[in-house]
Chain A
């Protein structure tokens, strides 16, 4: 018996019971379609989060003042004044950092002419642009000279621009007021939109950190320091280097607790993506269970089919079919059901995913491996759940089978 003949016999047997074959297939179709859709949505949201994070600068390192004790009393991080200008200056010397910027901020009302808008002002160094991957749409960034002079200049984001200059005037060169201090606008940033946490990244005003520290807040400590590692891979080494420098500056003995915290984007990314990975895993589990149920459906129908066709099996054996021929025939039947169901399921799953993307604008990503894995699982399901019924058929005694009523 050659394979082609067995295949023909199996197709013929299935086409004799089209409705039943289709209903059996339905379990697999729903299983595969849900696997594909769920994974596409899961992968899509994961990679969209990852993209947004890397847009924020995947090699970014954030240094915050950390836990400290004053005479046995634990103080909250926001009360800590442990980060100083000297820390910033020393980080500038490090090998693995490509940029360092202090951050001091204050909030208040911006006023220009008859328009006003509540927001914050961020005191930074010119490196901040490259660290946060910000680009200028027009004008220029302030310089080191501006920092030395605590110049009253600023670079604004598009949200600020749109609110203070609603009629589309060119803001460059205009004077806006923040807490009664006049700032000259020297640059406008390109729009970045909202990030995955829902923060408007265009609501931003940058000014020299010295200006904020001396003219607005009158403080000597920094709220935080932003830095970027030379490459994403060097983030860990850079983090180590920063930690050592700060411990040296702050005279922390070995074994002592850091009075600062270092966060990398990578940690943030893995935190967020682990949440979405968990979701993806859960969705995949639900889908896999439905595939299992589909497989049991196949097994059930194949058992019914073997019993129902006992006489046919007896006849085939009496005209010369060997056990292996009968086994192969029923295995091919269950494989045909599961693989055809798999193909339909993949097509449906992809269409569902695209539909979700079109209708509710969820990000999706259909990866080749999910399709390949679905196929592999389908074939496995077909063979695994078809095996016992097929084995049962092959082991029938032709004498009993041919006289089975």
Chain B
């Protein structure tokens, strides 16, 4: 049996809005094992974002237990959660969130900057390795404003890989990209998955689910369906079959 990376047991999350209590998550339980590529889908208001915040150790639960790579997250202090994020999680955001006017390699180094056990030489080497893995070995010194959307998202993925996290959390990671670039990013994620990475991809785009091996659908704060996909489509193939734009 593969290791449990994420284990949620009856997770509830309530928000007080004025006198009302909004129950965003109403009891969610599932387990994600090492090497899973899971899409979490749902319409807006289904609790996706709240769940993502909890998975990313950015938010606390109102009830229930969350184990990340065997570590109980509940009752951790803010600082402990910051360290946990630094060591166990790689975030990929919809809008890339790269540092402005900063080179690709410096952007990728960022998580390691907050890990004082890593020396600066080591940090640079690991950043270069991560950028090479996402195919940007020739763009190390390009600044974030000198790159295309797809390239920026690759830098963001390299940044998520650089601390060798237990799980990569992608939040609508293809949301801002055109079709071709989206498939390029999906191809990259599938390749990382095949290399053993655990990926959780939160999206409202049902098409993405076809490229992952498991799909969890949320509805009104509860798990509506949780199915394994035996017929995973290859993003690389789709990409190869896309009509080539002739821009002459």
User: Which residues from chain A sit less than 8 Å from chain B, CB to CB?
Assistant: 1-2, 5, 9, 12, 16, 311-312, 314-325, 398-399, 402
Contacts and interface: CB of A to CB of B under 8 A. Distances in A.
A315 B59 contact: no
B159 interface: yes
Given A1-B114, A5-B113, A399-B53, A320 B100 contact: no
Contacts, number: 64
A271 B101 CA distance: 61
Given A1-B113, A9-B113, 13 more contacts: A314-B97, A316-B114, A317-B58, A318-B56, A318-B58, A318-B85, A319-B159, A320-B83, A320-B111, A321-B82, A322-B79, A323-B79, A399-B53
A325 B53 CA distance: 21
24 contacts: A1-B116, A12-B106, A16-B100, A16-B101, A312-B99, A314-B97, A315-B99, A316-B110, A317-B58, A318-B58, A319-B85, A319-B110, A319-B114, A320-B82, A320-B85, A320-B87, A320-B111, A321-B114, A322-B82, A398-B58, A399-B53, A399-B58, A402-B58, A402-B93
A311 B100 CA distance: 11
Nearest to B113: A5
Given A16-B101, A402-B97, A317 B82 contact: yes
B66 interface: no
A326 to B, nearest CB: 10
A332 B136 CA distance: 33
Contacts of B101: 16
Nearest to A13: B99
B86 interface: yes
A325 B163 CA distance: 18
B114 A325 contact: yes
Contacts of A9: 113
Nearest to B78: A323
Nearest to B79: A322
Interface of B: 53, 56, 58-59, 78-79, 82-83, 85-87, 91, 93, 97, 99-102, 106, 110-111, 113-116, 159, 163
Contacts of B56: 318
A323 B81 CA distance: 11
A200 B164 CA distance: 86
A5 B100 CA distance: 18
Per CB-CB distance, the 4 closest pairs between chain A and chain B, nearest first, are A320-B86, A319-B111, A320-B114, A322-B82
Contacts of B82: 317, 320-323
A399 B102 CA distance: 23
A16 B114 CA distance: 21
Contacts of A311: 97
Contacts of A16: 100-102
Contacts of B79: 322-324
Given A1-B114, A398-B58, A319 B99 contact: no
Contacts of A320: 82-83, 85-87, 111, 114-115, 163
A362 B83 CA distance: 61
A261 B148 CA distance: 91
A16 B83 CA distance: 28
A12 B102 contact: yes
Nearest to A400: B58
Nearest to B102: A12
A395 to B, nearest CB: 10
Contacts of B106: 12
A312 B95 CA distance: 12
A325 B79 CA distance: 10
Nearest to A12: B102
Contacts of B53: 399
Contacts of A325: 114
A150 to B, nearest CB: 93
B153 to A, nearest CB: 14
Nearest to B99: A312
Contacts of B83: 320, 322
Tell which of B86, B97, B101 has the most Cβ of chain A within 10 Å: B97
Contacts of A398: 58
A311 B113 CA distance: 18
